[in-house]
Chains A and B, each alone.
Chain A
Amino acid sequence: MALDKPYLDVPGTTIFDMEQCRKGYWLNQFCMSLMKAENRERFKADQRAYVDEWPMTEAQKQAVLNADLNAGIREGGNIYFLAKLGATHGKSFQQMAGSMTGMTEEEYRDMMIKGGRSAEGNRVVGEDGDAQAHRQPQGHGTGKLL
C-alpha cells in the first residue's frame, strides 16, 4: 500500500522525507563534516579533492562545487545540512534562501522587508503564484550561492 505523501503538490518545495534522506545521505553527511574548522579550511583549499573523499554521486558533487542549493535539494540535500556549506562560504541563511529563488540578494531582501512571499497562489501546483514553475526564475540572480 502506498505511503501518504500529501506534500508532493506544494509548488517550489521539496519535503525532506525518508526517500530524500536515503538519496541524500552522503551529501548531507559531507555537509556535517564542515562543522569542524579544519575541514572547512581543507575544503576551501581544494574543493574537488575534498568532495572526492566522500561517496557522493557526481551530481551531488557538482551541486556542491557549483554552490547550487536547488540542485543540492534535488539530489537529496536538506537545507539545514546544506547550510553548513553556505556557512563555509561565509553566507547567511537569507543569502542561501534567496539564492534558490533566482532573485538577487537585494531583490530577496526587499521582498522580505515588504512582508515576504504571499501564500496566495502558492499553496498547490497549478495555481498562479510567484513560486510556481511557470514563473521561474523570479529575479535577476544567478540561482547560485556564489
Chain B
Amino acid sequence: MARISASVYTSHVPAIGAAMDLGKTAEPYWQPLFKGYEPSRQWLKDNTPDVIFLVYNDHATAFSLEIIPTFAIGTAAEYKPADEGWGPRPVPVVKGHPELASHIAQSVIQQDFDLTIVNRMDVDHGLTVPLSLMCGQPEAWPCPVIPFAVNVVQYPVPSGNRCFQLGRAIKKAIRSFDGDLNVQIWGTGGMSHQLQGPRAGLINREFDNMFLDRLIADPAGLAQVPHIDYVREAGSEGIELVMWLIARGAMSDTDRGGAAPHVHHRFYHVPASNTAVGHLILENR
C-alpha cells in the first residue's frame, strides 16, 4: 500500500528561481530567505520519498487561453522546464511516475472529481521553484514527481472547500495503490501577493499567519473561507493559497478525530520580490 508520510507547503515566487540560477542567494536581500529553507533541505535529504505529488499552478505556460483545465494531472514519463519568456530555467528535467499518476487519475475521477489528463506538457516556475527551494541545485531531482496543475489564473477558480475535498480523494487514491510507496504531497503558491494594478505589492502578515495556524489545526474550517476574502485580504494572486488545501486535505483528518500532523518546520519571510513567502513541513504521526 502506498502512503502519504508528509506534506510540504511553500510559495513558488519566480524571482527565487532566478536568484538561484544567477548565483545571488548569498546577497543580503536573499540570504534570510534561503536560510529559512536550510532545515528543509536537510529534512528532504533525510526523508526522501519515492514520489512527490506536487500541486501547483501553471502561469499561462502549458495552458494558454485555448484550453483551461481546472484540475490537470500529469501522467507523462517526463516534463521539460518551460521557456516562460526569459529562456528555460537551467534545472533538471522532471521525471514523472506514470504508474501512480494513472492510478490516481482513475481513482479520483471515479470519486467524482473530473480531472484533465495530461500526457505532454512543460512545467513552469510554479513547479520548479519549490523543487529548487527544497533540493538546491542537484544534477537530477531526488525522486519522480507527479505534477498536479490547478487553475488559479482564470476566475472562477475552484473553492477552498473543493480543493480540500479533492485532497481527501487523492489520499484515498494513493492508499489504494498496491505498490509500497512513500509519497509526499506538496502544496505551493501564495502567500499574500498582488501583481497587478495600483494595488500591486499588497502583503498581509496577519492573514498569512492566520492561514498557517488554521492550515495546521483547522483545515476544514479554513476551507470555508470564500474567494473574496482572499482577494481583499491577501491580494488578487493570493488566491493561489487554495492549492495548499489540496495538500492538507490529503493529510491527517484533524476534523474527524485524526491526530494533528507534527509541525517539523515553519517559516515566514517578507518580501521575495512582490510576495510574502510562507513555508511549512507537516508530518503525519
Does B175 interact with chain A (Cβ within 8 Å)? Answer: no
Given known A-B contacts A94-B15, A131-B198, A32 and B60 have beta carbons under 8 A apart: yes
Does A13 interact with chain B (Cβ within 8 Å)? Answer: yes
Chain A residues near B198: list those with CB within 8 A.
11-12, 70, 100-102, 131, 133, 136-138
Secondary structure dominating the interface of B: loop
Q: Which of A96-146 contact B (CB under 8 A)?
A: 96-98, 100-102, 108, 111-113, 115-119, 122-124, 131, 133, 136-138
Does B257 interact with chain A (Cβ within 8 Å)? Answer: no
Chain A residues near B61: list those with CB within 8 A.
35
Are the CB atoms of B155 and A16 closer together than 8 Å?
yes
Nearest B residue to A26 via CB reads: B65
- Bits for B80-110, please: 1 = Cβ < 8 Å to A, else 0: 0011111100000000000000000000000
Are the CB atoms of B196 and A100 closer together than 8 Å?
yes
Number of A-B contacts (CB under 8 A): 165
Are the CB atoms of B236 and A13 closer together than 8 Å?
yes
Are the CB atoms of B203 and A7 closer together than 8 Å?
no
How far is the CB of A93 from the nearest CB of chain B, in Å?
A: 6
Band of interface residues on A: 35 or more
Given known A-B contacts A28-B65, A116-B276, A35 and B201 have beta carbons under 8 A apart: no
Are the CB atoms of B199 and A15 closer together than 8 Å?
no
Nearest A residue to B236 via CB reads: A13
How far is the CB of B162 from the nearest CB of chain A, in Å?
A: 16
Nearest A residue to B203 via CB reads: A116
Does A78 interact with chain B (Cβ within 8 Å)? Answer: yes
Nearest A residue to B233 via CB reads: A119
A interface, CB within 8 angstroms of B: 6-7, 10-18, 21, 25, 28-29, 31-32, 34-37, 40, 69-70, 73, 78-81, 83-84, 86-88, 92-94, 96-98, 100-102, 108, 111-113, 115-119, 122-124, 131, 133, 136-138
26 example contacts (A-B, Cβ-Cβ < 8 A) are as follows A7-B231, A10-B199, A12-B199, A13-B231, A14-B197, A16-B153, A29-B64, A35-B85, A40-B85, A81-B65, A84-B60, A87-B85, A93-B195, A94-B274, A97-B195, A101-B200, A108-B200, A108-B201, A113-B29, A116-B201, A116-B203, A116-B270, A117-B200, A117-B202, A119-B233, A131-B199
